[in-house]
Amino acid sequence: MQDGQETGLPFMKMHGLGNDFVVIDERTSGPRVTAEIARAIADRHRGVGFDQLAAISSRPGSDIHLSFWNADGSRSATCGNATRCIARHEMQRLGLGALTISTDRGLLQAEDAGGGLTSVNMGKPQLDWHEIPLARAMDTLELPIDGAPTATGMGNPHCTYFVPDAEAVDLAGFGAAMETHPLFPQRTNVQVAQIIGPDHIRMRVWERGTGITLASGSSSCATGVAAARRGLTGKRVTVELDGGTLQVDWRVDGVWMTGPTAHTFDGIWRG
Same domain, 161 and 222: yes
The CATH number of residue 28's host domain is: 3.10.310.10
Per-residue model confidence (pLDDT) at position 29: 84
Same domain, 176 and 98: no
Question: 266 lies in a domain?
Answer: no
Rounded Cα–Cα distance for residues 88 and 85 (Å) = 5
Q: Within 13 Å, how many C-alpha atoms sit on residue 218's CB side?
A: 31
Q: Look up the pTM and report it.
A: 0.93
Query: CB–CB of 51/19 below 8 Å?
Result: yes
Question: 143 lies in a domain?
Answer: no
Question: 139 lies in a domain?
Answer: no
Average pLDDT over residues 73-79: 93
Per-residue model confidence (pLDDT) at position 6: 56
Question: 129 lies in a domain?
Answer: no
Rounded Cα–Cα distance for residues 34 and 40 (Å) = 10
Same domain, 158 and 197: yes
Question: 137 lies in a domain?
Answer: no
Backbone angles phi, psi at 245, to 5 degrees: -125, 145
Average pLDDT over residues 14-30: 95
Same domain, 114 and 30: yes
Question: 1 lies in a domain?
Answer: no
The number of folded domains in the chain is 2
Structural domain of 224: 150-258
Same domain, 116 and 13: yes
Largest CA distance in the chain: 56
Q: pLDDT tens digits for 210-245?
A: 999 999 999 999 999 999 999 999 999 999 999 999
Per-residue model confidence (pLDDT) at position 1: 35
Of residues 151, 192, 146, the one with CA closest to residue 168: 192
